[in-house]
A and B are shown apart, each in its own frame.
Chain A
Amino acid sequence: MSSNIQSIVEKYGKNETRLMDILHDVHCENGFVSDEEIKEIALLLNISKVDVEQTLTFYHFFSKNPRGKYTVYLNNSLVAKMMGRDEIAHTFEKATGTKFGTVSDDGLFGLYDTSCIGMNDQEPAAIINGIVFPKITTYRVKELVKSFRMGSSVQDMINSFGGGQNQSELIHAMVTNNLNRRGAVIFSDYTPGEGLEKLKSMSPEDVIAEVKNSNIRGRGGAGFPTGLKWDFCSKSPGDEKFVLCNADEGEPGTFKDRVILTERPSLMFEGMIIAGYAIGAKQGILYLRKEYEYLKNHLEFVLNEFREKGFLGKSILGIDGFDYDIRIQFGAGAYVCGEESALIESCEGKRGEPRNRPPFPVQVGYLNQPTIINNVESLSSVTKIISNGSVWFKSMGTKESSGTKLLSISGDLKYPGTFEVEWGMSINEMLEMAGASDVKAVQVGGPSGRLIAPNEFHRTICYEDLPTGGAMIVIGEGRSILETVMNFMDFFIDESCGSCAPCRYLTVILRNKLKKIIDGKGVSKDLEEIVHWGKQMKIANRCGLGQSAANPILTSIENFRGEYEAKIEKGKDYDTEFDLNSAIIESSRAVGRFPEA
């Protein structure tokens, strides 16, 4: 038995719910977890081998096989493709001599596709051995591969630092913030501890009342009233309560939390402490997506600072009995883990499969205890609500949408980046602000949201009209709507956890139908079937991913029907797309027959 694995497992108290951390640490050693290591971990945790294996194989940054000394994860999201990702991929393949999805024969390079890595404002971007390389050019690819061949480390290849905290010693990343507009809540003046100071004179009930009164709703996209969530949780019976902060922003096109985590982590941690005080929790967990691992030291540093200042630990701020601490839990690449119940499963060391609801996490959450899960932006806003008051907060935004919202705007525009605006801005105003012209469509709220056409650009961004978690993808004239939708469908197929049959199969069937239409073989019945079947997704799947996986195709048919109809075959009511000649090529070759064309 390897002493190394033993010490890792012991580090986490031989606790099987910490399997993600254990796998994370073991994976860091060699870049994969071998069969032998799986067996050892299972033995030490006293669980079965498949229990370890099923968690390991669920996450796409974990592997059972070596993925090369230099492992390249190149983003394949829509905006990455818009910015020339395919050419970068081709250059990588040519330079390394291996294909995507494989490792080069010498074991030096592994090339892999990955879903949106939260860098849509600086695409094409790749993660190489945990380090983010934004705005990659073909020249840079050749330079990287050449240097790696000569033995350079990945760290050696960092040639610039992004602005703000990105250049601090603890981050040293090439990532830029692109914080194009600061608003009054998240990116306003802030002194760490300003929210906590108020807790001294507030009871937990006061805090919940204040948050409720602010009318703040969840910033992750679903828009559930934060105060109500806390209220439910504080009243739920349980031995222990937990605060989970969702920093898994996996919705393609979202990268706003990255900027908070970089520039305002204290604001977020403070929100987590306030939440803990309100519901009576002893522990908070920041669930951080693996893509943002480069921020780890920075975040740990802030947590340590908090501990030194007495913001974390025992009797915080001298409030008797207020003991609370925060730990960071890494994900390992799974969009579905942004769904709150899947996130809990993942925190417990399991596959990130959403749970059935009810019971809701506020009743039965992490370790089956009452748990609140809030978005990074929601918790950051709460700090300001407590510090400046709910009346101040409500003075911004619209009636049902108070405060400000961070928008991650990317795609065909001059100023991609993060913008903090008050709720109630129209899409037209947003496009003007971000320097977008000749816009064909805007994907509001990422793939799971709505694809809207110019005739809806007068609509306003707020819960009453166009709700959003913040992702705004601008699609310029000249882009194909159908190809755009195709990218989103591929994304949902990759990221489906596979638990619900409609999400597992129908996504593929819908994608194939779309492909058929793009190939000019679609008939109007195909379009009817897409709409009819797509609607089933809403009612037949357990979680938000499955329920919204047909949104891109449904909203684009709604708003861009013309583009679909232009591709539909005229005068045909049925086309199976079957082509005998291409169906027999393979076996003709195998037996040495060459059929007449």
Chain B
Amino acid sequence: MSKPIVATTSLAGCFGCHMSLLDIDERILDLIELVEFNKSPVDDIKEFTKMCDIGIIEGGCCNSENVHVLKDFRKNCKILVSLGECAIMGGLPAMRNNIPIEECLQEAYLNGPSTKGHNPDGIMPNDEELPILLNKVYPCHEVVKIDYYLPGCPPRADLIWNALVALVTGDEMKLPYEVVKFD
């Protein structure tokens, strides 16, 4: 039997969840035995080259590119997992959700302490190459269907490890209290 294929990405996140994935330490060698990686920052494959079994998403969606990537994952992965607070709830980036986007942009490029007086033409980044910001930060399941959620900020390495092993082996997932308590 061929190995299950895993893809990962970080959208509007801080890469902390990916760091936590690396925190499985030497078990990463076991992981390589268990699964094959496709599109992921782990192996730097930029585009999907085949259909994957598991897609792991870090971060929510704050711009149009996030949405395209997430939809691409949904299309190319049989199972999608929201990994961590930002993917599940929007997280820290979603703190801007109570402020109109125009105000956010003005604060960042016109009125902020580091820009005030230095942007006389009032230019806001608007290159066609740049993704455009969404009106608010969306958790992943508000954009596509998500099958599983792994909570934490970041989720503990053991939680990620246990979840992946359970998904790959089909065994029931171990969820000891220590890996899901957050205080």
Minimal beta-carbon separation of A263 from chain B (angstroms): 49
Q: Could you tell me if B135 and A586 are in contact, using CB atoms closer than 8 angstroms?
A: yes
Q: Could you tell me if A583 and B135 are in contact, using CB atoms closer than 8 angstroms?
A: yes
Residue A478, interface by CB 8 Å: no
Residue A580, interface by CB 8 Å: yes
Report Cα–Cα, A120/B105, bound state, in Å.
47
Residue B31, interface by CB 8 Å: no
Residues of B within 8 A of A587 (CB): 101-102, 105, 132-135
Report the interface size for chain A: residues with CB under 8 A from the other chain.
18
Q: C-beta contact mask, A584-596 vs B, less than 8 Å → 1, else 0?
A: 1111111111010
Partner of B126, one of A577, A583, A586, A591: A591
Residue B67, interface by CB 8 Å: yes
Residues of A within 8 A of B142 (CB): 576-578
Tally of contacts, chain A with chain B, CB under 8 A: 54
Residue A12, interface by CB 8 Å: no
Partner of A578, one of B100, B124, B126, B143: B143
Residue A224, interface by CB 8 Å: no
A578 and B138 in contact (CB under 8 A), knowing A586-B100, A586-B102, A590-B105? Answer: yes
Residues of B within 8 A of A577 (CB): 142
Residue B145, interface by CB 8 Å: yes
For B70, give the chain A residue with the smallest CB separation: A578
Report Cα–Cα, A588/B132, bound state, in Å.
7
Interface residues in B85-119 (C-beta closer than 8 Å to A): 100-102, 105
Q: Could you tell me if A592 and B126 are in contact, using CB atoms closer than 8 angstroms?
A: yes
Residues of B within 8 A of A580 (CB): 64, 67, 134
Partner of B101, one of A574, A586, A592, A595: A586
For B134, give the chain A residue with the smallest CB separation: A583
Residues of B within 8 A of A582 (CB): 135
A591 and B124 in contact (CB under 8 A), knowing A585-B135, A586-B101, A586-B102? Answer: yes
For B145, give the chain A residue with the smallest CB separation: A574
Minimal beta-carbon separation of A11 from chain B (angstroms): 41
Interface residues in B124-138 (C-beta closer than 8 Å to A): 124-126, 132-136, 138
Residues of B within 8 A of A595 (CB): 132
Q: Could you tell me if B134 and A591 are in contact, using CB atoms closer than 8 angstroms?
A: no
Q: C-beta contact mask, A558-583 vs B, less than 8 Å → 1, else 0?
A: 00000000000000001011101011
Q: Could you tell me if B143 and A590 are in contact, using CB atoms closer than 8 angstroms?
A: no
Report Cα–Cα, A580/B143, bound state, in Å.
9
Report Cα–Cα, A5/B124, bound state, in Å.
52
Residues of B within 8 A of A584 (CB): 64, 132-135
Report Cα–Cα, A401/B99, bound state, in Å.
55
Report Cα–Cα, A582/B101, bound state, in Å.
13
Decide if the interface of chain B is mainly helix, strand, loop or mixed.
mixed
Decide if the interface of chain A is mainly helix, strand, loop or mixed.
helix
Minimal beta-carbon separation of B141 from chain A (angstroms): 7
Minimal beta-carbon separation of A454 from chain B (angstroms): 39
Report Cα–Cα, A153/B151, bound state, in Å.
60
Residues of B within 8 A of A576 (CB): 141-145
Interface centre among A574, A577, A587, A595 (most CB of B within 10 A): A587
Interface residues in A140-186 (C-beta closer than 8 Å to B): none
Q: Could you tell me if A592 and B132 are in contact, using CB atoms closer than 8 angstroms?
A: no
For B131, give the chain A residue with the smallest CB separation: A584
Residues of A within 8 A of B132 (CB): 584, 587-588, 591, 593, 595
Report Cα–Cα, A574/B100, bound state, in Å.
29
Minimal beta-carbon separation of B146 from chain A (angstroms): 9
For A589, give the chain B residue with the smallest CB separation: B102
Q: Could you tell me if A593 and B126 are in contact, using CB atoms closer than 8 angstroms?
A: yes
Minimal beta-carbon separation of B64 from chain A (angstroms): 6
Q: Could you tell me if B124 and A592 are in contact, using CB atoms closer than 8 angstroms?
A: yes
Interface residues in B115-169 (C-beta closer than 8 Å to A): 124-126, 132-136, 138, 141-145
Residues of A within 8 A of B100 (CB): 586
Residues of B within 8 A of A591 (CB): 105, 124-126, 132
For A582, give the chain B residue with the smallest CB separation: B135
Minimal beta-carbon separation of B116 from chain A (angstroms): 18
Minimal beta-carbon separation of B137 from chain A (angstroms): 10
Residues of A within 8 A of B134 (CB): 580, 583-584, 587
Report Cα–Cα, A51/B125, bound state, in Å.
47
Report Cα–Cα, A84/B125, bound state, in Å.
47
For A587, give the chain B residue with the smallest CB separation: B133
Residues of B within 8 A of A578 (CB): 67, 138, 142-144
Interface residues in B46-77 (C-beta closer than 8 Å to A): 64, 67
Q: Could you tell me if A590 and B101 are in contact, using CB atoms closer than 8 angstroms?
A: yes
Identify the 10 closest CB pairs spanning chains A and B, nearest first: A574-B145, A587-B133, A590-B102, A591-B126, A591-B124, A583-B134, A586-B135, A578-B143, A587-B101, A584-B132
13 contacts between A and B (CB under 8 A): A576-B141, A578-B142, A578-B144, A583-B136, A584-B132, A584-B135, A588-B132, A589-B102, A591-B105, A592-B126, A593-B126, A593-B132, A595-B132
6 further interface pairs, Cβ-Cβ under 8 Å (given A582-B135, A587-B132, A591-B126):
A576-B145, A578-B142, A578-B143, A585-B135, A590-B101, A591-B105
